[in-house]
Amino acid sequence: MLKKINRLKKKKDFQRVYQSRFRFNLPEMAIQWRPLTGQNFPSRFGIIVSNKISKSAVKKNRAKRLLREAIRILMKENKTPPGLDFVINAKKPILDATYQGLYKTLENFFSRHKTIRR
């Protein structure tokens, strides 16, 4: 589970991220982000797994758990950039993904995009 300070919860926060022009598509997910005004703020994440992925709540919850855990470990290892809001939209291939695969995908994304500041 992500800490409260690292979660996007309000609809207003999600809408602000959607209005930003920063977006990157991966096979398992689409990632959108928005810089915050200060650099000292921790990164915040919102995870969306829609009914288009699967009607089964079990499968959707598993996908969310895998993403949350990968993000939590990456934050613990200081591999996520501070001062950004992220929204991760899952795609259908996430149902077949493993934890190691998602971890590596997100790790590569954050290492390649160190300049995703502004």
Question: How would you write the pLDDT of the chain (118 residues) with one tens digit per residue?
Answer: 889 999 999 999 999 999 988 999 999 999 999 988 766 788 999 999 999 999 999 999 999 999 999 999 999 999 988 889 999 999 999 999 999 999 999 999 998 876 565 4
- CATH architecture of the domain with range 4-111: 2-Layer Sandwich (3.30)
Q: Cα angle vertex 32, ends 87, 9, to 5°?
A: 20
Residue 40, Cα to own-chain centre: how many angstroms?
19
**How many Å is the maximal CA-CA distance in the chain?**
39
pTM (2 d.p.): 0.90
**Domain segments of the chain as ranges:** 4-111
Q: What are phi and psi of 43, to 5 degrees?
A: -70, 145
